[in-house]
């Protein structure tokens, strides 16, 4: 008998929720008015003891055309090195501040406001979570959206909104006025800004000249360059599934990507030169097939990567979901007409199956300097060392909790 993990398993789009209509439930749990200092797994030297100058060459100066270096884990590990503080909960019980969709995509602007994409509109909340205003409405005209995705806030404080359904980038000032609109190539599953108005995207493109490349540099309607042939795939053709990548970029144009079900990190220059390959902790003990996860009585994936973000120039933060030991107690079975069994999480909440792991990697030394798990399901890393947790209410709308993470010294 075949066992299939629920079709409501968060797809790649739902891990960052970047496609309209992707509304699977994820984290559940009570709202806690606490500051949580967590003891987290194996952590490297405290912040005050890290000497980045000890590395003769910075990570961006390296060149590694192929292969992956295993991340080092220094001893002894630190303790209590990550502190979590819940700084806001957004989403209101009634009125225009209701979130009818789970967290789709969002950013923090220069004033600390949270911009949350909600299909045809963006809802803005102030730093303490109070609703400020809506921006835009459904449609195809100026300040109209079909799939609004706030991507980043630039140095001038403008917020850039991508709408792949309208093939358009909309730029809005921090005072909520329209700055500019630009036609853009239909962005992929992941998008991150580069210098000069360009972007790095992850997308499988089934054309002869693009099909081997999971990453692309775009400017407006043009693909400038495709890159990212997997170094361990012996040039095998990529599929929509094996081309999946999470992407982040730094201020000078380096592109970092990671495979969601295999902890393989690659770094590239904007010109397409491979800088490094890093191998992190093993996530799964078997290959994860595309589409509905037929498991032949095997359990769902042990883990996958939800998000990555480069902070402080030399540090990469990796957010992953790790399967709980008692996940089976939170599952119910549905028998399909063909005899397969589909496993669903109770209440549709994948926080019943998974908890979060956060790794902090020093790119200069290829060292895992902090790592650990939290019994919550975070889904996105935001600017300012923040993470996002969302959960449904009994009424069917959504709440989003914003947590701030500090890497502390002993």
d(CA 166, CA 146): 7
d(CA 321, CA 358): 9
d(CA 202, CA 67): 21
User: CA quadruple 13, 15, 18, 22: dihedral positive or negative?
Assistant: positive
* Mean pLDDT over each residue of the chain, to the nearest integer: 79
Q: Which domains does the chain have, with CATH numbers?
A: 3-407 (2.120.10.30)
d(CA 122, CA 116): 5
DSSP summary character for residue 373: E
Whole-number pLDDT of residue 78? 60
d(CA 266, CA 233): 13
Q: What is the pLDDT of residues 240-280, one digit of tens each?
A: 777 889 999 999 999 999 998 889 999 999 999 999 999 99
d(CA 290, CA 244): 10
Whether the per-residue pLDDT at 183 is higher than 80: the answer is yes
Q: What is the pLDDT of residues 366-404, one digit of tens each?
A: 999 888 788 999 999 998 899 999 999 989 999 999 999
Whole-number pLDDT of residue 309? 95
Are the C-beta atoms of 346 and 324 separated by less than 8 Å?
A: no
Whole-number pLDDT of residue 16? 42
Whole-number pLDDT of residue 22? 38
Angle at 370 between CA 70 and CA 367, to 5 degrees: 30
Whether the per-residue pLDDT at 361 is higher than 50: the answer is yes
Mean pLDDT, residues 70-96 taken together: 83
Higher-pLDDT residue of 367 and 50 is: 367
Q: What is the pLDDT of residues 148-157, one digit of tens each?
A: 999 999 999 9
Higher-pLDDT residue of 264 and 285 is: 264
Mean pLDDT, residues 317-321 taken together: 94
Burial of 142 (0-12, 13-18, 19+ CB in 10 A): exposed
Residues in Cβ contact with 320 at an 8 Å cutoff, skipping those fewer than 6 apart: 263, 283, 303, 304, 305, 306, 356, 357, 358, 359
> Can you read off the two tokens belonging to residue 396?
């069917």
For 197, list phi and psi in degrees, rounded to 5.
80, 15
> Can you read off the two tokens belonging to residue 133?
């205003």
Whole-number pLDDT of residue 43? 36
pLDDT band at residue 362, thresholds of 50, 70 and 90?
very high
Whether the per-residue pLDDT at 331 is higher than 70: the answer is yes
> Can you read off the two tokens belonging to residue 44?
């490297």
Give the range among 56-65, 305-314, 318-327 with minimum mean pLDDT. 56-65
Q: What is the pLDDT of residues 84-121, one digit of tens each?
A: 899 999 999 999 999 999 998 999 999 999 999 999 99
Whole-number pLDDT of residue 327? 83
Give the range among 29-43, 64-78, 223-237 with minimum mean pLDDT. 29-43
Are the C-beta atoms of 373 and 357 separated by less than 8 Å?
A: yes
Mean pLDDT, residues 167-178 taken together: 94
Encode burial over 35-52: b for 16+ CB neighbours within 10 A, e otherwise: eeebebbbbbbbbeebee
Whole-number pLDDT of residue 281? 86
Burial of 286 (0-12, 13-18, 19+ CB in 10 A): exposed
Mean pLDDT, residues 132-140 taken together: 94
Whole-number pLDDT of residue 102? 92
Are the C-beta atoms of 270 and 282 separated by less than 8 Å?
A: no
Whole-number pLDDT of residue 107? 95
Alpha carbon of 318 to those of 131, 356, 372, 391: distances in Å? 30, 10, 11, 21
Higher-pLDDT residue of 208 and 141 is: 141
Cα–Cα nearest to 42, from 356, 323, 370, 316: 370
Mean pLDDT, residues 112-133 taken together: 96
pLDDT band at residue 177, thresholds of 50, 70 and 90?
very high
| Chain-centre distance for alpha carbon 146 | 21
What percent of the chain lies above the pLDDT cut of 70?
78
Q: What is the pLDDT of residues 201-243, one digit of tens each?
A: 998 887 777 777 889 999 998 999 998 875 554 556 677 777 8
Q: What is the pLDDT of residues 3-25, one digit of tens each?
A: 433 333 343 333 443 322 333 33
Are the C-beta atoms of 303 and 283 separated by less than 8 Å?
A: yes
């Amino acid at each position: 008998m075949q066992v299939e993990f629920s079709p409501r398993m968060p797809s790649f789009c739902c891990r960052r929720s970047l496609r309209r209509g992707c509304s699977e439930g994820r984290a559940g749990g009570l709202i806690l008015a606490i500051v949580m200092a967590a003891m987290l797994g194996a952590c490297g030297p405290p912040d005050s003891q890290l000497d980045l100058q000890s590395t003769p060459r910075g990570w961006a100066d390296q060149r590694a055309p192929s292969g992956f270096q295993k991340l080092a884990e220094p001893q002894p590990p630190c303790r209590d090195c990550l502190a979590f503080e819940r700084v806001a909960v957004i989403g209101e019980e009634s009125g225009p501040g209701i979130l009818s969709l789970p967290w789709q995509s969002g950013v923090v602007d220069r004033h600390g406001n949270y911009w949350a994409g909600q299909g045809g509109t963006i809802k803005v909340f102030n730093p303490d979570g109070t609703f400020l205003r809506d921006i835009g409405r459904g449609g195809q005209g100026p300040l109209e959206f079909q799939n609004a995705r706030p991507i980043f806030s630039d140095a001038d404080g403008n917020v850039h909104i991508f709408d792949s359904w309208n093939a358009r980038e909309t730029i809005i000032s921090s005072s909520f006025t329209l700055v500019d609109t630009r036609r853009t190539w239909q962005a992929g599953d992941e998008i991150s800004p580069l210098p000069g108005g360009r972007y790095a995207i992850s997308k499988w493109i089934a054309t002869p000249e693009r099909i081997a490349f999971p990453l692309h540099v775009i400017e407006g309607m043009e693909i400038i360059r495709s890159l990212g042939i997997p170094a361990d795939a012996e040039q095998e053709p990529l599929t929509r599934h094996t081309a999946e990548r999470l992407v982040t970029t730094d201020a000078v144009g380096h592109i970092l990507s990671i495979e969601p079900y295999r902890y393989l990190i690659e770094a590239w220059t904007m010109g397409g030169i491979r800088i490094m390959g890093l191998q992190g902790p093993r996530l799964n003990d078997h290959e994860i097939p595309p589409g509905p996860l037929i498991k032949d009585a095997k359990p769902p994936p042990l883990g996958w990567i939800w998000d990555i973000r480069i902070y402080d120039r030399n540090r990469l933060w990796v957010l992953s979901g790790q399967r709980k030991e008692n996940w089976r107690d939170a599952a119910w079975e549905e028998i399909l007409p063909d005899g397969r069994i589909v496993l669903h999480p109770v209440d549709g909440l994948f926080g019943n199956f998974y908890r979060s792991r956060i790794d902090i990697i020093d790119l200069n030394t290829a060292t895992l300097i902090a790592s650990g798990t939290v019994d919550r399901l975070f889904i996105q890393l935001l600017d300012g060392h923040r993470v996002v947790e969302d959960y449904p209410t009994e009424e069917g709308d959504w709440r989003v909790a914003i947590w701030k993470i500090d890497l502390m010294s002993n």
